[in-house]
Amino acid sequence: MVTRNRILTHFLVSTILVLCCFGSVFGQHYSSKVRCFERERQALLKFRYELVDEYGRLSSWGVGENERECCKWRGVSCDNRTNHVAQLNLRGPKELDSPLKGSVSSSLLELKQYLTHLDLSNNDFGHSNIPEFIGSFEKLHYLDLSSANFQGSIPPSVGNLSVLMYLDFSGNYGLYSDNLDWVSHLGSLQYLDLTLIGLRNASNWKSTLLPFPPSMPPLLSLAILDLSDNLVIPSSTLQWILNFSKSLTFIDLSNNNITSPMSTYAFHRQIFLSHLDLFSNALEEGIPKTFGNMSSLIHLSLGGNCLTAQLSKVMTNLSGPLEKKLQYLDLSGNRISGSLPNISRFSFLNHLDLCRNKLNDSIANGFLNIGNLTYLDLSANYFTGTLPDLTIYPFLQKLYLDHNMFNGHLTESIGFLSKQEDLVVGSNNLEGIVNETHFSNLFSLQILDLSDNSLLALNCSSHWIPPFQLRVINLSQCNIGPRFPPWLRFQRKLQYLDVSFSHIVDTIPSWFGNTVSTLTHLNASNNQIHGVFPIIGRDSPPVELYRTILDLSRNKITGQATFLCHYVGWQFIGLWDNLFSRDMPSCFAKNSWLKFLNLANNNFSGEIPDSFGSLPELSLLNMRNNSFTGGIPQSLKNCGGLEMIDLGKNRLTGKIPTWIGDNLSRLIVLSLRFNMFHGTIPWGICRLQGIQVLDLSSNKISGIIPKCLHNLTAMIDAQAGVPSLEYGIINPFGVLTFYSSLWGGVCFMWKGKEVNYVNHLEFVQVIDLSNNALFGDIPAEITDLKALVQLNLSRNNLTGSIPRDIGLLKSLDSLDLSRNHLSGGIPISLCELSFLGTFNLSYNNLSGRVPPQMKFDESSYMGNSGLCGCPILDKSCPGEDEINQQDARDGDAMDRWEYGDDDKFITKGFYISVEFGFIIGFWGIFGTTLLRNSPR
């Protein structure tokens, strides 16, 4: 029995082993079956070989035995029935951070009989042309080549794709089409996007969009038409465009130059149209009444045009079937005026944008009772009165009421907006106290802007923990002090923080370092913040984020600036007017995006870091009024984009680099005043054709003034040097904001006083070489600088005479040549300087008479013993007394002769009449006698 069981066991085990082996072999045979056709596989490999795949997106496209199944390669899909490659989807990421590059290989033609879907969008094909063979894929239903860096003309062969339903060529800036005949052959097209395609020379719109015979119109099934960002669509063609199809549901003509009156547009004939976008065109007047009959329209965008009608009339023309359907209405950025009418009848609206118009008056109760609103933007108008009741908007997510004239208190009703994400009420006249009650239910809040309401105070409990995590906080010019708001420490997602001008008088809290670690914008300027600025976790590695502004200016912050080594990636750094001290850290090689660095008015010392030369984008460098030593580092020659250098009021030594004119040719402001530079003025300075402020005063510079200064073009023609020292940043609301005050201005001596010039630098052209050791003549060529406003050459050792043609400096407002060794006379051409307000020639060796037209104070001429001339100077010139006395006598005699001493009726005319009568009488008698006796 045991033997039989043992035999049976062996048999079962053997059977199982055989079955396992058989199954393994069978499985291997089954798994080795490859669906992909070899010729198609080879075609795809050839296609890949002509691409540059830097990020390994096509790493699964291999040649190994285990990689033969091309149907499983990334982006490749095969037809389940025929096993042929049917779809090729190589769409790149939207961020374009890992695009495929190279060219489109003709090997893809191997797939032409079966390929129905081709997507090469969001890649980089290096300005190559769309291949002509693209028209050979006659089975294509879907073709997307958008944002792929193609250029050149769209090949007409695209018209061969007769079954194409989806076509997108958008986002290729160099792509154009001069002939649209190919469009008329795409009879199955439902989606067409030609955004940013050059159609300027496409003159056959009419024949393309309405060909003969009319009974066979093209694009009968077209539902989506996107021709945005072409800029050149003629208004006369719009009527023809609307004959594309009677089934259009989506039309986008935004960012073109459409100017024709809207009454000519037949959009209302598109009975299925649900989306109409005419944003950013040049439409004028108002909205035709026919728009109110568009019963299918859900989305209407007319923002960014030139509409001038009253808002009440606009909304009246939209009344009708449309008001029961419309959900999205954008009228922003027009010139629409008047007060807000009753819009509550548009009960399905969820998006209403009326910003940047000319709307005024207060908002009447009930006129905005639209319970479905999720987006409301009334910003940048002239609305007055109190804020509207917000309790009627339970679904509201975005609220923008900024830049108006709303007054009163910020109602606590905002606390009921539990879905609120953006609350922006800055730049109004709001007042009162805001506390945690206002924010009690704002669980979804991400943007909070209460800025520029100087009478508004934020007073939340020190123990309050907010229910939200904000991305943007703007409390500028609100009263949130004197302490740092403690609730900021709980904001872990903060990116934008502005607490400037907010009355903070406090030490920087230790937790502030963690708050700053996520910021891309920090403005805490113009407070009285003191203490040491914190470092992220002290041992944390540098956080490399793309940041914009770090502005701590006008505070009392102390310590070193080593935190800059940890908060890298900034574009603008403003630390001016603080108490920072010691050496500047040399870690700027990690700040390759830095454009602006202002360290003025601190206690920094040590040498200027060589790492500044690693800032290729640097445009402005201001280190004025510190204690920096050493010379100007040679590495700074790498910063070819510099427009302003201010190193004034330091302890810098050495010579002015000769490479400044060659390497920093874009300079507008160069200020090295109050240092210890020596040597001569390098002639390369003359190559700074855009320079408007050249201040080398109060150094130890010797030598002559270069004659080539007449090459400074911006000082010859003020228009030639219009400065670009005005910095703009896109704020969190997508608006370009200029920070002209952030850079602190240009500092120079003006009429004997130090001034800080912030705005309108285009009106300033200054040369100040005063208080040095310059010698030689004032070069006559300097009179070519006709736009020069101030010239100061005082306190040098200049000799020779004042240039005779100095009167050619017609724009001169201030001229100081005092305390030199100039000789000769005062040129009479100076009398032609009608704008001259400050004038000083004192303490020279000038001689001769002061032109009587130069009516400046005597102090302008003192110290010149050879000058004379009354009444300006209390010193008459030789012979001037006799001349004046004779002139006085002649004047008195003439007065007596003219008016007489006794009889005021005896005038000069009287004596002339007497003399004339005497002559007539004398010659009348004597002449007659002569005539009578002449024959004898």
**Domains of the chain by residue range:** 882-929
Give percent of the chain with pLDDT exceeding 70: 81
**In contact, 277 and 302? CB cutoff 8 Å:** no
Q: What pLDDT does 569 receive?
A: 82
Is the predicted pLDDT of residue 904 greater than 50, yes or no?
A: no
37 token code pair: 């056709």
Residue 26's pLDDT band (cuts 50, 70, 90): very low
From 230-234, 298-302, 771-775, the region with the lowest mean pLDDT: 230-234
Note the Cα 466 to chain centre separation in Å: 34
Backbone angles phi, psi at 441, to 5 degrees: -115, 15
- Identify the pLDDT of residue 882: 56
Residue 94, burial from CB neighbour count under 10 angstroms (0-12, 13-18, 19+): exposed
Cα distances (angstroms) measured from residue 733 to each of 280, 496, 516, 729? 18, 11, 21, 11
Q: 414 with 437: CB under 8 angstroms?
A: no
pLDDT at 742: 58
CA 74 to chain centre: 41
* pLDDT tier at 211, thresholds 50, 70, 90: very low
Tens digit of each residue's pLDDT (9 = 90 or more) over 547-583: 888 999 999 999 999 888 887 788 899 999 999 999 9
- Say what the pLDDT of residue 738 is: 55
Residue 695 has pLDDT above 80, yes or no: yes
- What pLDDT, on a 0 to 100 scale, did the predictor assign at position 633? 95
Question: Averaged over 447-453, what is the pLDDT?
Answer: 96
What are the CA-CA distances from residue 366 to residues 324, 392, 775 (Å)?
18, 10, 80
State the chain's mean pLDDT as an integer: 83
Instruction: Say if residue 149 is exposed, middle or buried (CB neighbours under 10 Å; 0-12, 13-18, 19+).
Output: buried
Looking at the predicted structure, is the pLDDT value of residue 542 above 80?
A: no
Average the pLDDT over 783-804 and give the result: 95
Nearest-CA neighbor of 680 among 694, 652, 699, 708?
A: 699
Of 90-104, 597-611, 690-704, 807-821, the least confident: 90-104
Q: How confident is the model at residue 68 (pLDDT cuts 50, 70, 90)?
A: confident
- Lowest-pLDDT range of 97-111, 758-772, 836-850: 758-772
Has residue 300 got a pLDDT over 90? yes
CA neighbor of 623 nearest in space, from 639, 643, 642, 603:
603
Query: Which residues in 90-134 belong to E strands, given as ranges?
Result: 101-102, 117-119, 128-129
The whole-angstrom separation of Cα 353 and Cα 299 is: 12
Mean pLDDT of 434-447: 92
Order the strands of the 678-680 sheet from edge to edge: 678-680, 700-703, 773-776, 797-798
| CB burial readout 218-234, b (16+ within 10 A) else e | bbeebbbbbbbbbeebb
Residue identified by tokens 């280190």 is 623
Residue 231: pLDDT band with limits 50, 70, 90: low
Return the higher-pLDDT residue of 798 and 198: 798
Structure tokens, 514 = 């963690």
Check pLDDT > 80 for residue 744.
no
Output the pLDDT for position 754: 80
**Is residue 531 scored above 80 in pLDDT?**
yes
| pLDDT per residue as tens digits for the range 454-473 | 999 999 998 999 999 999 99
Residue-level pLDDT at 9: 47
pLDDT of residue 25: 38
Is a pLDDT exceeding 90 seen at residue 607? yes
Q: Which pLDDT does position 807 carry in this prediction?
A: 93
Q: What is the pLDDT of residues 802-838, one digit of tens each?
A: 999 999 999 999 999 999 999 999 999 999 998 899 9
Q: Which residue has the tokens 């010659």?
A: 923
How confident is the model over 842-869, as a mean pLDDT? Answer: 91
CB-based contact 407:384 (threshold 8 Å): yes
Comparing 885 with 691, the larger pLDDT belongs to 691
In this predicted structure, the answer to whether residue 248 has a pLDDT above a threshold of 60 is yes
Residue 914 has pLDDT above 90, yes or no: no
DSSP letter assigned to residue 698 = S
User: Residue 16 has what pLDDT?
Assistant: 44
Q: How far is CA 308 from the centre of its chain?
A: 27
- Residue 489: the pLDDT is 92
CB-neighbour burial class of residue 892 (10 A; exposed 0-12, middle 13-18, buried 19+)? exposed
What's the average model confidence in pLDDT over 121-138? 92
Among 41-55, 239-253, 418-432, the range scoring the smallest mean pLDDT is 239-253
pTM given for the model: 0.77
Q: Please state, for a pLDDT cut of 90, what percent of the chain lies above it.
A: 55
